[in-house]
Amino acid sequence: MTELSILQVGAILDETTQSFPHAACLTCECFLGLVAQLGSDSGADSQRLLEQYRLEHREIHACLGCEPCPPGNRFARYIQQKQPKKLITV
């Protein structure tokens, strides 16, 4: 996958934050894992946008086990989209 543009990062963040069922999602490891991955996959221009979501370790909480978990599901979908498609034959 090529480097994400600031527009792509912004769109993913907007989609994800709009889906939050709880205010606590903003400090959940499910969402912050996505933020960290986007930081790894994007250029310097996106870092300022991502910086507003980064927290000190002590401020982050473990997954609350929400079902469904929109930020966790978005993170999983993002990772799946990054993977090359493979045809499995039996």
Domain assignments of the chain as residue spans, ordered by start? 6-82
* The pLDDT value given to residue 83: 82
Neighbours of 6 (CB within 10 A): 16
Q: What pTM did the predictor assign? A: 0.86
Task: Return averaged pLDDT per consecutive 10 residues of the chain, 90 residues in all.
Answer: 90 96 93 96 94 93 92 94 75
